[in-house]
Chain A
Amino acid sequence: MMLKSGIVLAGLAALSVMAVAEETCPPPETMAALVGEQAFTQTRTLSGVDRPIISNGTVVVSENSVVWTVTAPVEISTRVTEDGIFQSVMGGPETPLNSSGAGNPILTETGLLAIMRGDLSASESYYTRTMYELAEDGWTTELAPKSETVSPHLTSLTLKGCTELEEITIHQPNGDAVNVVFGVE
């Protein structure tokens, strides 16, 4: 009898935790778009490199473009539009980034921009969802790419967030990772 009531209580407790999480963090499918200017911090953890490579800046997501502006340690502006990707380094002229270099499939063929606009369903064309966790402080989901063009550059994407996207981690095949946290400068 004691055992039975214990299980019931535990079940109720678990349901109440989920109910709280659902109240505060809706599923990622309903997350809001990153609106206006957002601060971000990118941390590259690369094998064979002594220290993480960290850069800070702001990102502005709009209907037609996403502009990433790195302010430290150097000034870099990367503008992603339907016409292509353009970059200016340290106040230099803006030059187009071509398709094969710089692994631009990450920016153009991964649905990453759609995710930033809050449209997780758009990612279904590009990814298979391999993990989904809901915790009190938010959700975590992991996506594996379907595209053969992208998979040599990207093993998986881990997204974290609550009402909106808060963190993206790009996992590379060799174990390297690129982590972008929004709202932190």
Chain B
Amino acid sequence: MAADTDPSDVRALEAGLDALDSLVTPVASNRTRAAWSAFWPTAAAVVVFGGVWQAVALAGLRPSYALPSPADVWTAFVVAAQDGSGVRAVGLSLERGGLGFAISVVVGVLLGTTLATAPLLRRALGPIVSGLQSLPSVAWVPAALIWFQLSNAAIFTVVLLGAIPSIVNGLLAGVDQVSPLFLRVGQVLGASGWTRIRYVLLPGALPGFLAGLKQGWAFAWRSLMAAELISSSPRLGTGLGQLLDLGRQTNDMSLVIAAILLIFAVGMAIELAVFSPLERKVLRARGLTGPGGR
């Protein structure tokens, strides 16, 4: 080898180039401050809204059974928490929502993978699955009640029919977004059939799939509330939807509003605690920043 291409020189040159060209990761900014700057505008909006509500309630424009004050709702909330009915309702609904969602994920992944890899089947069923997304799942409640009477099976049927289309569509969208370049590389590397699905298609589709899961959870939760609200029966126990119906039957507007706030809080807590961090983690590992920045 001539001296001008001494390999150690090339190695040194490369080391210099690598150091110069590599992405410089910005130093993470103060996390507490970032969290605070995201949090305070929402908190302020809630405080302002509560203040206006309290003022309107105090002004007595409406009788208090129609428009209870925030303080009345808080009392109803505390009572429900203390006698355990609120905690049991949240527990039961979460249990149903979690189980229904888990079954939906299994069915959705199997169905989505099948459709993604069988073009004819996809052309046949794809538009129907897409269309099902825009069908309000509450429409399934009467059918489910006729099939399964007042039972948990009826509730799970509605949850599954609400969540599965979103999960399938998310997976299909994710698969469609996998770059043809990656598929070609997979083929060159010798991936085919199952190895192609396992090592190229599914990991490539993960970001779209996660978006589908997130939407699937939202739909599962909504469907569950619709099902619980309509199939209110002592035999089925008291979930959040049934608590809401109890409030309506006893004309207790404070309980109704407390139940609405609980349903909202639980749905959002799951999204914030489970899906947002998961999505952020996956996108960040791929060098993509998710919605809402870093």
Pair from one complex: no
